[in-house]
Structure 1
Amino acid sequence: MNRSAADLADLLARDAEAVCRHYLCEGHRVGNYWQVGDARNAPGRSMFVRLTARDASRPAGKWTDAATSEHGDLLDVIRESCGLKSFREVADEARRFLSLPRADPKAFSSHAGSSAPSGARVSARRLFAISQPIPGTLAEAYLRRRGIVDLDGLASLRFHPRCYYRPDRTAPTETWPAMIAAVTDLDGRITGVHRTWLDRDGRGKAPIDTPRRAVGHLLGNAVRFGVAGDVMAAGEGIETMLSVRSSMLTMPMAAALSAAHLAAMLFPAKLRRLYIVRDNDRAGDGAATILIGRGQAAGIEAIPLSPRRDDFNHDLRTHGIEPLRSMLKTQIAPEDVARFMPL
């Protein structure tokens, strides 16, 4: 079997999920992507691998690491995860993998987040439709305990009292209360949902292994608060963005749900200034760097906003709303202080 690198990469991409499950076993499927720490199979969320092609410009098997800006194909995954040096070693390992019998893909169909994107979107829309507004619910109590008290106009957030949770494909299904967030595209269409399972008393997240999960088509999309115009803010987590929103209620905002998805977010057509609400870690730095570069290429001014602690919700809970407001005033443009932070 004598194949070129392009041929091998193409063959691997046809079974991208199997490649990821074999070489990147520390990760897991999230919608149409495999998410993991890096190409060396470290635990984490900053690297994402596309599992199925959407069009010629977005083929399966391509990956990007938001923390380091590295990117590549599945041959690079094999090289890095196995610690190989020469292309001959990588090619031999790829050929060995391609000769292995494949597990039945249906065996993974019950795993959270692993359904086909189109089916996941339908399920996401159904879950959001049957959920209820958050006032008076455990979701409201949860957000208030995290210092987020202005909850008016949060149409993208809802609550479900008995949302299904399954630890893995072999475990029985459980039900927990959950905050449900709609993930939407630039036209407002729901493409997925994010679930935050809650403790039954609303004091925090549920005592389960993965209390946060998203399903559907996530890349480029976000949980949105307000309709984007010429100025908006974007960051990773829902609570992070709601914390910043507490100081700037009228500025449109978006939560991309991870550093990898933040780095890949799509820009609204009218956007001219983007505030990047970064988390204070390596992945946050990487996402901000990528977005600044992408913004410059698109003629958009990109300005990072930096917290004192891990993230802006940590700042809000530790210091309170007025110190947070004062800190943000020093980081945003003067004209936006007057526009979005009036006395």
Structure 2
Amino acid sequence: MPRHDASELAIRLGREAEAVCRHYLSSGHRAGRYWLVGDVQNNPGRSMFVRLTGPVSGKGAAGKWTDMATGEHGDLLDVIQETLGLVDFKDVAEEARRFLALPHPEPEKTRTPTANTSSVASGSPEASRRLFAMAQPISGTLAEIYLSRRSITSLSHTAALRFHPRCYYRPDEHSPTEIRPALVAAVTDLAGHQTGAHRTWLAPDGSGKAAVETPRRAMGDLLGHGVRFGAAGVVLAAGEGIETVLSPRQVLPHMPMLAALSAAHLAAVLFPPSLRRLYVLRDRDPAGNGARDSLVARATSLGIEAISLTPHEGDFNDDLRWRGVDALRAALKDQLHPEDARRFMER
């Protein structure tokens, strides 16, 4: 196939990026402006992200994807080829043309919004701001119970977390909307402006996450941003999940930290101009390794000292729950720069 024909097909698929992902990457789900899935073969997971919006071509184009676990990247023609196991590219092109000829449902951002977001587009940054504004401080709520069940009891500088007792949850586009309690986190940019939100739906008694297929979902503009605990100065610690980041804060309550919400987003975190030392709170899995390597390489290239902090178990919340706060304190002290251990570690 001539190069320009392939490029034109990729652009056309990019204009229907969400529909392509729903069809060929059905194991994943939308998170703000991205589709998250395990890999280009459509396995479950969160290490691969596909851009659902962006320019028609070039850097950041809609339909471009990256797998943080493997470093692979490509466009939606590659997705079609890999998910269907096609070898000859003319078959890929034929399948792409067949798909583009089909009628497709409107993407989520143009659907009628729910009452949680009033008249603004569902999943937009404005909808995330309204959702967070409708939530309440977590003290004395199911959200506080949920975190305490995960051994997270010190909640200083956690204004980015709130509780919504009646947060909308929709299992899929064909199911009715449900109302469930949720931990709601504000995603902010370097200037502190809210660009998105993350929801963790909870069990009715706060004992754990809700018994639903996807109890965690994000909305809004996430890439480069995160859930922030404390204002970053010369030092920042960054990790994937909220609980993963809150766990080291049980012994480092004054160290600024950021939860990027996924391995893909961790690798793309933007650095404040004042940053001189970055701690990467890695998860022990392939996606976590890939995110750590990418983030460390980016930081180092900018003259920022990057230090990887490694848990003994799968992540730092596992360490906190299974090994205890004293063991976590000792393990972190051995990995921190001595100056930061003296400055930030709670005695």
Work out whether the TM-score is over 0.5: yes
Q: CA deviation at 1:173?
A: 1.9
Partner in structure 2 of residue 285 of structure 1: 289
Of 70, 93, 96 in structure 1, the residue corresponding to residue 95 of structure 2 is 93
Q: Give SS of 2:293's match.
A: helix
Q: Give SS of 2:181's match.
A: strand
Contact 1:143–1:149 (8 Å) recurs in 2: yes
Check 1:82–1:263 CA distance in 2 against 1; reply closer, same or farther (3 A cut).
same
Structure 2 CA distance for aligned equivalents of residues 251 and 186 of structure 1: 17
Contact 2:146–2:206 (8 Å) recurs in 1: yes
Q: Give SS of 1:38's match.
A: coil
Q: CA deviation at 1:170?
A: 2.3
Contact 1:179–1:198 (8 Å) recurs in 2: yes
Q: CA deviation at 1:168?
A: 1.6
How many residues in Structure 1 have an aligned counterpart in Structure 2?
340
Partner in structure 2 of residue 39 of structure 1: 40
Check 1:38–1:106 CA distance in 2 against 1; reply closer, same or farther (3 A cut).
closer
**Which stretch shifts more, 223-232 or 20-29?**
20-29
Partner in structure 2 of residue 14 of structure 1: 15
Q: CA deviation at 1:220?
A: 1.1
Gapped runs of 5+ residues in structure 2? Answer: none
Gapped runs of 5+ residues in structure 1? Answer: none
Q: Give SS of 1:148's match.
A: coil
- 2:109 maps to 1:121: no
- AA paired with 1:311? D
Contact 2:113–2:122 (8 Å) recurs in 1: no
Q: CA deviation at 1:275?
A: 0.7
Q: CA deviation at 1:118?
A: 8.4
**Which stretch shifts more, 227-236 or 196-205?**
196-205
Contact 2:166–2:179 (8 Å) recurs in 1: yes
TM-score (ref. length: structure 1)? 0.93
Structure 2 CA distance for aligned equivalents of residues 183 and 299 of structure 1: 26
- AA paired with 1:225? F
Partner in structure 2 of residue 184 of structure 1: 188
Q: Give SS of 1:329's match.
A: helix
Q: CA deviation at 1:117?
A: 7.4
Partner in structure 1 of residue 63 of structure 2: 61
Q: Mapping of 1:1-343 within 5 angstroms?
A: 3-53=4-54, 57-98=59-100, 100-105=101-106, 109=111, 120-341=124-345, 343=347
- AA paired with 2:63? G
- AA paired with 2:283? D
**Which stretch shifts more, 291-300 or 183-192?**
291-300
Structure 1 CA distance for aligned equivalents of residues 299 and 183 of structure 2: 32
Structure 1 CA distance for aligned equivalents of residues 122 and 178 of structure 2: 25
TM-score (ref. length: structure 2)? 0.92
Check 1:303–1:111 CA distance in 2 against 1; reply closer, same or farther (3 A cut).
farther
Identity of aligned residues (%): 60
- AA paired with 1:101? L
Structure 2 CA distance for aligned equivalents of residues 194 and 328 of structure 1: 27
Root-mean-square deviation (Å)? 2.2
